[in-house]
Amino acid sequence: MAPRWEYQVQILGSFWHGPRAEDVQEFLTQAAEDGWEPLELTTIQNSSKMMLILRRPTETADRRRRAKTWP
């Protein structure tokens, strides 16, 4: 059976200042300790912010049922 994933989106930095490398490293280290792995890191247009998408496997029993709200 294919693994099920739980996702998290984090916004790093502020409008005027991007995140410091040390802060990103600390965040990623803590996230990895909690079982998260980075999927994508992208800049947000017209700002210094960055969007980080993470995922981690989740057990089927722990999954929450959600209604699909998109087609």
> What secondary structure does DSSP assign to the chain, as a single string?
-PPEEEEEEEEES-SSSPPPHHHHHHHHHHHHHTT-EEEEEEEPTTSS-EEEEEEEEE-GGGPPP------
Determine the pLDDT at residue 10.
Answer: 95
Q: Domain ranges in the chain?
A: 4-60
Determine the pLDDT at residue 60.
Answer: 60
What's the average pLDDT block by block, 10 residues per block, for the chain (71 residues)?
A: 90 89 94 96 91 89 53 48
Determine the pLDDT at residue 63.
Answer: 52
User: What is the pTM for the complete model shown?
Assistant: 0.74
Determine the pLDDT at residue 64.
Answer: 57
